[in-house]
Structure 1
Amino acid sequence: MTPAPGSWPSPVSVAKAVAAGRSLEAVAFAGDEVWWSEGRPAEGGRIVVCREISGGVEDLVPEGFNARTRVQEYGGTSWVPVADGSAVVFANFTDQRLYMVDPIGSAPRPITPEPALPAGLRYADLLPDPARGRVLAVQERHEGDGTFGTVRRSVVAVPLDGAAATDPAAIGTLVPEGTADFLAAPRLSPAGDALVFASWNHPDMPWDSTVVRLVPLGRDGLPLPGGEIRTIAGGPGISVVDPGFLSDGSVLVQSDESGWWQPELRDPRGGGRRRLSSIEQEFAPPQWNLGRHSWAPLPGGRLLVVPGGVPSVLDTLDESLQPIDPDWAACGDLATTPTGRAALVVGGPRIGTRVVLIEPRATPRTVRTASDDPLPAAYLPVPEHRTIDGVHVLVYPPTHPEHTAAPGTAPLVMTVHGGPTAAASRSASAQVAFFTSRGFAVADLDYRGSTGYGRPYRDALRGRWAELDVADAITVARGLLADGTAGSAVITGGSAGGLTVLGALTTTGHPFAGGTSSYGVADLQALETATHDFESRYLDSVAGPDHTTWTARSPISRAGQLSTPVLLLQGGRDPVVTPDQAEAFAAACREHGIAHALVVFPDEGHGFRAAAARIAALEAELSFYGQILGFPTPDVPVLELTRP
């Protein structure tokens, strides 16, 4: 007898789904070598800088160190090769100091001072300045608990000789504190006589209004006395990100002045400007993390770019655009050399995330994959992009070589991304296959406010968070139930996606049988007062100025309308959405007699990194769905629900 969809036997175990989640993050060239960083669930989520050696992979950051920065709490690229690839500088997670491994294989030594406040000096967006024996970085100075008004940022120069480890005065300042609330992407001119950087101020986020500014530098690499810091791109209502110099001294930025993030050239001397592509696609992602790259120069007036996330070569003379590989639909980071070599972190619906190396006139070669045991192709779902009442969604069908789900029989898992200014992943996901191989359909929702569809779609959520995203989730779920894609539906999401989950479940007449909120927002007022500085004024734009509206839209205020079970997954050390939010919602479930479970992982933060936590979370989710939808889940432990 054919088992019911949702209970199909699957080779994609919980452990395999998590093991396949080794995160590949950033790439760089170190001399002739490609280096990359990867997060390892089996090592508690530790981030390691690696390089390829004969017969395998060599770790450049030894055990006991974790190359992870906490700048803006979401971090970003935390390392950089120096000394022509004979050394590496990285930010260590525990104390947030910069360390240098010189030579490779030696013990790391600190090159920044121990701050008075533990982890109170943080560094990200590192940039080598080899001619001056230093590395540039965005520095974050914490003067309190990390909430609004307790953090200052600057761009600094750290000497590689280690002098600053004991003498803070050895650190030079290129962009002083107070220049702007937020700083990103310091980039040196080819001659080393100028620095560009991006900046923005509260209450804006980097996808709202930013500017790119230029600082003239003297021979000592410090700002010229009396030199003017000039704005060369951006302004109110314009987002410019990922600036950088080309070899002729012009500056390239990704600007959304046209309604799409597109590459533009700016002449910092004469003020001229030229858009390099008019294709209506996003050439850059939203800047949640520092230090990632969305473009890099290639010989012959060409650029390596990622329109719509697809790695491509742009000819800046005729604006022609050539995708590199039809299987590549996403790019996490990229780097090039003057000779035309390129390294990228890529992924796509048919391939898992990987680091690839492209030599001129050669076929791309895979250097590292996210999993050493890739999923069988027969179990890998291929998504279909749909638009339902103007809302974008990627729909993954139940996928199994021995079983087929009849129309209207598959349970649907609707997944809601975080952000809310973000987008569903375009890379093959072992966790998606975990569900589709069991007979679920999966719908990755890109509600209004998501990125990838132009600024008007992104801005549609302004002032209407916890309203439009909730409405879009309900609309799309109803559409997929009506057309036979699914016979029942549950909803899951993390962080901002968790708010959408809880908002949907507290909306009368919703179509979901239940939902899972991972470190999700339950109370908008509490989020404003407790969250970190980077997002502390985010609600001003995305939720609007009226705080009575915040209260009305907060799921905790509407808990009396709950009628379906809820699973709450929470990190005990989450500085973004603090644990009291999940605890308060669990208490509301108890008060109103709603079946629920609250699972707290004491050592996890905002997002689960350790394998044990990720395994337990996925097991809990499958058991929860089996219980509320009525099918067996014998391969995972039974989640105990608190029932009325």
Structure 2
Amino acid sequence: MRFAGEQVWWSEGRPSEGGRVVVCRAGADGEPPVVDLLPAPWNARTRVHEYGGVSWIPVPRSPADSTDPTDEVPLLAFVEFTDQRLYLLDPLQPDAAPRPLTPSPDEPAGVRYGDFSWDPQRSRLLAVCERHLPAAEERPRITRTVVGIPVDGRGALDADLVEDVLRDVPTADFLASPQLSPDGRELVWISWNHPAMPWDGTVLHLAEMGPGGRATGARSVAGGPNVSVVEPRFVPSNDARVLIVAQSDATGFWRPTLVDPHAGTATPLTDHPADFTGPQWQLGHGSWGRLPDGTVITVPAGRLGVLAADSTEPVPVDERWSWCGDLQIGPDGSVAAVVGGDRIATSVVHLPPGQLGAPQVLRRATDTELDAAWIPEAITRTVDGVHVVIHPPTNPHHTAAPGTSPAVLEIHGGPTAQWPRVRSARTAYFTSRGFTVVGVDHRGSTGYGREYRDALRGRWAGADIDDAIAVARALLADGTIGAALIAGGSAGGLTVLGTVTRPDHPFAGGMSSYGIADLVALGEHTHDFESRYLESLLGPDRQVWVDRSPLTAAGTLRTPVLLLQGGLDPVVPPEQAQVFADACAARGVPHALVLFPQESHGFRAAAARVTALEAELSFAGQVLGFEPPGVPRLPLRTGDSGQAE
């Protein structure tokens, strides 16, 4: 999401278009009607760090670009998914092909860009640039830096004009958040090195911009090996000092923190016991902004909130909004945000200057108005020290007897992540059919401070499994549920597969989406961003990796398993699902492997999503002893590991 003058621009994935990412716009007052800025088949999606992030930015028009001197519609710079080049599009000329701003790489998609900011003094874009270079070993050598990209197109013809802004300063394995001071004289960014992840420890750098537009004299002003600092930006001061606000967890929670490089201080703006942002799996999303009067708009405990200049206690903007995925501040002090709630649809909203209590909805994730009787509650609990969110079955035509509802225990990915506090079609799909859905925030989850987040370090594929089993047993014992399945994707899929190989687990079946079966193979073959993540999650002893791999314990497997997998997944390769299916076949365990050849890490196309969801419901019905109406019966195999497609 970005402001383009007074207009709000945002991107949205379109499952109906195969997962294509489209950039849209609306006027700040909701007029004119929402329009697509990016015509098909263009797809605005970056692969930096493989998980991507913000892949586009509005670009002010130069006099040569303007067809009308009064026109205020900016140009659009975006990364095209297929080749990862940066292009420039004129929204007023939708029939004209976007023109490239970066050169064609030697290797397909071998140079990637993301996390953009505008450099008005030099009429260029700043971006994180990731280069994949050939290497003798299987894994390519990857370098990252911040580059300056001319917007006149010269860089597409001459790679030397896409200049390395950090050429004269020490760099690092990973970089994010390049931001210029308002006068263009100073630059901030964050960095971290293997084996750390950005939620483990990052360093905030400050440098001067030399006359050639390159950084010089860089120094570290915040962060460190055990402090995560993210999302830095310059803020005004009453004198000539450089002041920066960033999210820092130095005090135990990610909190907005005022960094004074000259005084060498980092002062939290609040002591409220909550995380004000989340883990930086993707680049460029906003979790705080500053209004002209000094008020900070931010996201305490995932909710859009206000932190007044004279207060340290945040106040929610709207109690209905239990989740905020992005926020931006406009030049006039207005606020735009992506928000949602347990009982309301995710929406793009605009809050005019001085009217935070009068949001204007610019776009809803769905135009279908659901009857409130079908929308499940969200009940937060702590079960044996584990944070959970319980969504009871919700169907106005049927009511289950207490303690009889089967449950799907959902394990989020990451494992550094959190069960989202927002209305979910997937959750409603199950709760409307008589299931209780339980989102499990096991040890290692975000949203509860650094100590809880670090509780999984060295204990992954152990403590998370213990927590899932403990939650299921407790809910079965107290009559909240009558039976349980366990489901999860990616890292959550590892928890699923690890759980069902435990001899004492209480689950009737496990449903894994692109889950990890072999930790050693994952460490050897996964992408660079996570290639050493396992060192903190499991420790350095490779025998521990072997021992905690679900594949190692598959000899004890007796529980039915559903495996859903994308054929193009670079994070958890398809071989992971296949080897576990083979293990199921060797044991004669009922199982199914459903492969989606054109999907990656997470299913984007509508057809794949529907097929996966119906497969899960059919699987759940079969292992629980009923036949769900209205969905194809999923073939379960025992003696072979062939794929169901």
Q: With the length of structure 1 as denominator, give the TM-score of the two structures.
A: 0.94
Structure 1 position 388 matched with structure 2 position 378 = no
SS at match of 1:587: helix
Deviation at residue 149 of structure 1 after TM alignment = 6.2
Q: Does 2:34 match 1:57?
A: yes
- 2:6 pairs with one of 32, 46, 62: 32
Q: Deviations over 1:434-488 (max 9, x none)?
A: 0001110000000000000111100000001000000100000111111111111
What is the CA-CA distance between 1:52 and the residue it aligns to? 2.3
Q: What RMSD in Å do the two structures reach over aligned CA positions? A: 1.4
Cα offset, 1:614, TM superposition: 0.6
SS across alignment from 1:216 = strand
Write the distance in 2 (CA, Å) between the matches of 1:184 and 1:330. 24
**2:197 maps to 1:202:** no
How far has the Cα of 1:178 moved from its partner?
6.3
For residue 513 of structure 2, what is the amino acid of its counterpart? S
Match of 1:404 in 2: 399
Contact 1:357–1:365 (CA under 8 A) maintained in structure 2? yes
Letter in 2 for 1:212: L
CA distance in 2 between counterparts of 1:626 and 1:421 reads 31
Equivalent position of 1:475 in the other structure: 470
* Cα gap change, 1:147 to 1:454, in 2 (>3 Å): farther
Code of the residue aligned with 2:47 in structure 1: it is R
Give 5+ residue unaligned stretches, structure 1: 1-26
The answer to whether the 8 Å contact 1:148/1:536 transfers is: no
Would you say the 8 A contact 2:18–2:604 is kept in 1?
A: yes
CA distance in 2, matches of 1:265, 1:147: 44
Structure 2 counterpart of 1:377, from 356, 372, 386: 372
Per-residue deviation, 1:55 = 6.6
Moved over 6 A (4+): none
Q: 1:236 corresponds to which residue?
A: 225
What residue in structure 2 maps to residue 71 of structure 1?
48
Residue of 193, 203, 211 corresponding to 2:185: 193
Checking the alignment, whether the CA contact within 8 Å between 2:6 and 2:330 is kept in structure 1 is: no
Q: Is the 8 A contact 1:345 1:355 kept in 2?
A: yes
Structure 1 residue 335 and structure 2 residue 328: aligned?
yes
Contact 2:115-2:127 within 8 A present in 1 as well: yes
Q: Retained in 1: the 8 A contact 2:287–2:298?
A: yes
Q: Out of 512, 516, 521, which is 1:517 matched to?
A: 512
| More deviation, 142-151/323-332 | 142-151
| CA distance, structure 2, for counterparts of residue 299 and residue 215 of structure 1 | 25
Distance 1:504 1:311, change over 3 A: same
> What number of residue pairs does the alignment pair up?
615
| 1:337 Cα deviation after fit | 1.9
Shifted more, 49-58 versus 248-257: the winner is: 49-58
Structure 2 counterpart of 1:101, from 64, 75, 89? 89
Report the identity percentage: 56
**Does 1:158 pair with 2:130?**
no
Corresponding residue of 2:17:
43
Secondary structure at the aligned position of 1:477 is classed as helix
Q: Which amino acid aligns with 2:121?
A: A
Q: Distance in 2 between matches of 1:378 and 1:506?
A: 38
The structure with higher relative contact order (CA 8 Å, sep 6+) is 1
- In structure 2, the partner of 1:635 is 630
Worse-matched range after superposition: 353-362 or 49-58: 49-58
Shift of 1:188: 0.6
C-alpha distance after superposition, 1:391-446 (max 9, x if no partner): 01100001111221111110100000000000001110011000001110000000
Q: Normalising to structure 2: TM-score of the pair?
A: 0.93
Q: What is the letter of the counterpart of residue 77 of structure 2?
A: V
- Paired residue secondary structure (2:552): helix
- Equivalent residue number for residue 18 of structure 1: none
Q: CA deviation at 1:130?
A: 2.4
Query: SS at 1:228's partner residue?
Result: strand
* Match of residue 422 from structure 1: 417
Deviates more, 1:64-73 or 1:46-55: 46-55
Matched position secondary structure for 2:369: coil
1:357-372 aligned at under 5 Å gives the runs 357-362=350-355, 363-372=358-367
Q: Whole-Å Cα distance in 2 between the matches of residues 210 and 402 of structure 1?
A: 52
* Contact in 2 for aligned 1:152/1:178 (Cα 8 Å): no
Kept after mapping to 1: 8 A contact 2:330/2:336 = no
Alpha-carbon distance in 2 for matches of 1:325, 1:115: 47
1:293 & 1:206 partners in 2: Cα distance?
A: 16
- Cα distance in 2 between the residues matched to 1:318 and 1:519: 45
Residues of 2 paired with 1:147 and 1:548: CA distance? 23
Q: 2:618 aligns with which of 603, 617, 623?
A: 623
Aligned-partner Cα distance in 2 for 1:102–1:130: 19
SS of the residue aligned with 1:351? coil
User: Which residue among 326, 332, 346 is the counterpart of 2:319?
Assistant: 326
Per-residue Cα deviation, 1:326-345 (whole angstroms, up to 9, x for no partner)? 01111111111242201000
- Code of the aligned partner of 2:125: V
